[in-house]
Amino acid sequence: MDAIIIQILNGLDKGSAYALIALGLTLIFGTLGVVNFAHGALFMIGAFCAVTMQKLLTLSTQTIDPEKVDFLGKPLVVDTPYVVNWFGPETGAAIIDWAVPLAILLAIPVMILIGFVMERGLIKHFYKRAHADQILVTFGLAIVLQEIIKYFYGANPIPSPAPAVFRGSLDFGVWIGFEANQIIYPYWRLVYFAFSAVIIGGVFAFLQFTTFGMVVRAGMADRETVGILGIDIDKRFTLMFGLAAAVAGVAGVMYVPILSPNYNMGMDFLVLSFVVVVVGGMGSLPGAVLAGFLLGILQSFASMNEIKSLIPGIDQIIIYLVAIIILLTRPRGLMGRKGVMEG
Amino acid sequence: MSKSTYSRRRVLKSGALSGAALAMPTIFTASSASAFTNEPTGDTVTFGFNVPQTGAYAEEGLDELRAQELAVEHINGIGDGGMLNTFSSKALDGTGLMGKRVTFVTGDTQTKSDVARATAQSMIQKDGVIMINGGSSSGVAVAVQGLCQEAGIIFMAGLTHSNDTTGKDRKANGFRHFFNAYMSGAALAPVLGNAYGADRRAYHLTADYTWGWTQEESIVASTEALGWTTTNKVMTPVGAGDFSSYIAPVLNSGADVLILNHYGADMVNSLTQAVQFGLRDKQVNGKTFEIVVPLYSELMAAGAGANIQGVYGSMNWNWQLQDAGTQAFVRSFGEKFGFPPSNAAHTCYVQTLLYADAVARAGSFNPCAVAEALEDLEFDGMGNGPTTYRGADHQCFKDVLVMKGAESPTSAYDTLEIVEITPRAQVEYDPEHPMFTGGALGECNPGA
């Protein structure tokens, strides 16, 4: 039973990342009709916003320590971060320690800006083109973005720890009646799950309870009619592209303590998230979230030794197997709307 | 009117045979004027450095490339000479190779076997390389080694740790300086026994490809010989990213040691996540839970950050060694690039020099003469103490390093500390050891 509960927690955690990326993919597809294969790259750029924040906070002055030597036997150059000079050792170290959460403040404007530039500069020219063209150009864009990140940050994973207070793990089992040390779960993964729930809730609330969101939803349902009413729906959709980029970006920022960022991380998530979108139903926001969590949990269960001993390799194919079954039985996905990608 | 003796069928058969002969790749045939593939005729000779320059192991590949470039400079007499000053053989005098200046071309393997074979083939066919060196993956090394055997080119393997490279997949034209998984197990096990005791229960998470399989087999054998038991062995996909689903079952498995047979980004992620799951804070069977990473690299250690502190592993070489050869190489490399070399860089540098030395001693670029000069070569001054290139399987035998994540590193470069220099006698084995059988060197192929 304890193993099942841990895998459910794992599944919710993985599902959080899938759901956040799939949510952004669906927002872009639902509003602009674009299949954005560069969305995984936006997740990756978000992760590198966290790396950038770490680098900014550790920008240092250099002094020579004549008593120590470097690997070549020369006097050692000692780096002292500016924040330590400015705020003292304790406060400075604490600020650096919180680099990952602080990176959200950097990621939101950066990602919105990147989203704007992507949409206005490239993707808008492909609105009326076939989905195959859109996939090709956005996939190419993803590779370009990857290479840019690799040029500046290298190919090696970069350690990006969570704040010290969240580095341990919670004895989750004692909260639900198990003996101590039976169900241990990392604090940061629980933080990530809670964070995802807040972001997903926030996006839904924004679309549901604001005038802007209402217009966007109306535009998603019937773009032409909204345009006839004199509303500049294109401008709002551009803003939604920026919002979707920001959602992917903050999802990437908060994921770095779980997965040390490297330039290729977006591709791994993109393929799975695209399957999530298809399973959830193209254009359906609740479908994307539901499918994200569902497939995350299924993938975790399929990784259990007991399951793998029955069906070797099932952990590698479960998501695609479920996608095939759902698309055979419900061609529009779990919550897909009629008419989307059917014309 | 004469009657032709050629039937339509016969003409077609002759045409097909001629076409097949013409279409046959030239790398498998030597020209009539040459005794072996790519015999150098001008005033230069070209080496091929086939390393990952993109993909997951790109950083490691680029470090290999730096060292290879340095080795070529030293062979050509540029710079301070590095290990040529400490190498026991004095056949190389810094004037190139047999009167020719050494040049090189590079290929990007992307750590993919098919791409690596294609780039190697291109270097052999188009660039006329006489030797190929490099690699950061055993899958790639085995693939390229096979190609070099067919083409009649010497393959000086870079970083490849699978037993298979000089075991079941050994080739007469292939040589490995790097240590292997068996040696890691033989060096690590006594240190683990001293540190953690003889009564331990180990759980293995293993990368699902040739290197992972042979490392798991080696570590299981060496730890079980200590008295440890193996509770479970689980294969994980390469590039899994999130290993939480594989780590969670370890928690209540009864194991008190987790052995991560992972490399590169996979190792960084699995170790980081295992620490996050509180494994290192756990008490199991009355003992503190421990994690072991049998194969370390400096770049992996940098990627894992503080999570690596106190974790045991092994390496082929490390820049912190104090012998004269190591210090000469670190000085050359550090002055040129500003940081110490990795053990991947070291093995590629040494392999390039060893190849050049063998050519100089053989007095020929013929791969079979070079192979003969390398077989059973005894040498020293290259950073690992007295070393033998065993002729029976083309594997180098030398001291192996047992490492541990430094508890309090003073810079970005000393995240690992040397725990023990395991003498080579402890890691030696018979060429027909069961972990290495199933293949044969075969005959050297000069490509003629």
Mean pLDDT on A1-15: 87
pLDDT at A172: 83
| Interface contact flag, A157 B268, Cβ < 8 Å | yes
Asked if the structure places residue A242 within a domain, the reply is yes
- CB of A188 within 8 Å of a chain B CB? The answer is yes
Of the candidate ranges A144-158, B36-50, B81-95, the one whose mean pLDDT is the lowest: A144-158
pLDDT at A35: 84
Whether ipTM tops 0.85, in short, is no
pLDDT at B384: 93
Percent of chain A beyond pLDDT 90? Answer: 41
Residue of B137, B244, B289, B414 to mutate, testing the A interface (most A Cβ within 10 Å of its Cβ) = B244
- Indicate whether A291 pLDDT > 80: yes
- Indicate whether B17 pLDDT > 60: no
Asked if the structure places residue A94 within a domain, the reply is no
Query: Taking the domains of chain B in order of start, what are their residue ranges?
Result: 44-179+319-398, 182-315
DSSP secondary structure letter of residue A36:
-
What residues of A are in contact with residue B299 (Cβ under 8 Å)? 156
φ/ψ of B437, rounded to 5, equals: -90, 170
> Among all chains, which residue has been given the structure tokens 């990756």?
A44
Residue B416 CB coordination number (10 Å): 26
pLDDT at A165: 93
pLDDT at A339: 57
pLDDT at A16: 92
Q: Which of residues 272-331 of A touch B (CB under 8 A)?
A: 299-300, 303-305, 308, 315-316
> Among all chains, which residue has been given the structure tokens 């359906």?
A284
Angle at B437 between CA B435 and CA B442, to 5 degrees: 145
User: Distance (Å, rounded) from C-alpha A223 to C-alpha A239?
Assistant: 15
pLDDT at B31: 43
Return the CATH number of B182-315, one of 3.40.190.10, 3.40.50.300, 1.10.150.20, 3.40.50.2300.
Answer: 3.40.50.2300
Distance from CA of B288 to the nearest CA of A (A): 13
Element (H, E) at A245: helix A233-255
Q: Which of residues 216-275 of A touch B (CB under 8 A)?
A: 257-260, 262, 264-265, 268
pLDDT at B5: 46
pLDDT digits (tens, 9 = 90+) for B77-109: 999 999 999 999 999 999 999 999 999 999 999
Instruction: Say whether B182-315 and B44-179+319-398 share the same fold.
Output: yes
Asked if the structure places residue A206 within a domain, the reply is yes
What residues of B are in contact with residue A16 (Cβ under 8 Å)? none
Mean pLDDT on B391-403: 97
What residues of A are in contact with residue B242 (Cβ under 8 Å)? 14, 258-259
Of the candidate ranges A20-34, B39-53, B150-164, B281-295, the one whose mean pLDDT is the lowest: A20-34
Average model confidence (pLDDT) for chain B?
90
**Which residue in B317, B342, B326, B322 sits closest to B413, CA to CA?**
B342
What residues of B are in contact with residue A158 (Cβ under 8 Å)? 303
Classify residue A195 as left (phi > 0), alpha (psi -120 to 50) or beta: alpha
Asked if the structure places residue A232 within a domain, the reply is yes
pLDDT at B56: 67
User: Distance (Å, rounded) from C-alpha A302 to C-alpha B218?
Assistant: 28
User: Distance (Å, rounded) from C-alpha B253 to C-alpha B282?
Assistant: 12
Percent of chain B beyond pLDDT 70? Answer: 92
- The strands making up B396-397's β-sheet, listed across from edge to edge, are B377-379, B387-389, B396-397
| Interface contact flag, A159 B413, Cβ < 8 Å | no
Q: Of the candidates A72, A186, A260, which has its C-beta nearest B277's C-beta?
A: A186
User: Distance (Å, rounded) from C-alpha B288 to C-alpha B267?
Assistant: 21
E strands within B113-252? 131-134, 154-157, 174-176, 201-207, 229-236
| Domain over B44-179+319-398 is classified CATH 3.40.50.2300 | yes
Residue B2 — pLDDT band, cuts 50, 70, 90?
very low
User: Distance (Å, rounded) from C-alpha A114 to C-alpha A120?
Assistant: 10
Q: Which of residues 89-148 of A touch B (CB under 8 A)?
A: none
Range of the structural domain that residue A117 is part of: 2-57+99-329
Q: Of the candidates B249, B276, B299, which has its C-beta nearest A156's C-beta?
A: B299
pLDDT at B190: 96
Instruction: State which residue of chain A sits closest to B414, comparing Cα positions.
Output: A71
| Interface contact flag, B330 A71, Cβ < 8 Å | yes
| Interface contact flag, A159 B307, Cβ < 8 Å | yes
pLDDT at B20: 46
| Interface contact flag, B410 A68, Cβ < 8 Å | yes
- CB of A14 within 8 Å of a chain B CB? The answer is yes
A116 Cβ contact partners less than 8 Å away, ≥ 6 residues apart: A238, A241, A242
pLDDT at B6: 46
What residues of B are in contact with residue A264 (Cβ under 8 Å)? 55-56
Are B128 and B152 contacting, i.e. CB atoms less than 8 angstroms apart? no
Distance from CA of B95 to the nearest CA of A (A): 27
Residue B4 — pLDDT band, cuts 50, 70, 90?
very low
User: Distance (Å, rounded) from C-alpha A50 to C-alpha A247?
Assistant: 14
What residues of B are in contact with residue A258 (Cβ under 8 Å)? 242, 244, 273, 276
pLDDT digits (tens, 9 = 90+) for A87-130: 999 999 999 999 999 999 999 999 999 999 998 999 888 888 88
Angle at B236 between CA B234 and CA B241, to 5 degrees: 140
**Which residue in B105, B118, B127 sits closest to B40, CA to CA?**
B127
Number of domains in chain A: 1
Token reading at B148: 């070099």
**What is the dihedral sign for C-alpha A288, A305, B111, A51?**
positive
Stronger pLDDT, B21 or A87, i.e. the higher one: A87
pLDDT at B168: 94
Asked if the structure places residue A73 within a domain, the reply is no
> Among all chains, which residue has been given the structure tokens 């599944």?
A11
| Interface contact flag, B299 A258, Cβ < 8 Å | no
Residue A320: give its domain's CATH number. 1.10.3470
Tell the burial category of B265 from Cβ atoms under 10 Å away from its Cβ (0-12, 13-18, 19+): buried
What residues of A are in contact with residue B414 (Cβ under 8 Å)? 71
- Write the CA distances from A177 to A2, A184, A194, A333, B281, integer angstroms: 11, 13, 22, 38, 22
> Among all chains, which residue has been given the structure tokens 């440890």?
B228
User: Distance (Å, rounded) from C-alpha B173 to C-alpha B444?
Assistant: 6
Strand partners, B174: B155
**What is the dihedral sign for C-alpha A137, A138, A139, A142?**
positive
Q: Of the candidates B245, B268, B277, which has its C-beta nearest A169's C-beta?
A: B277
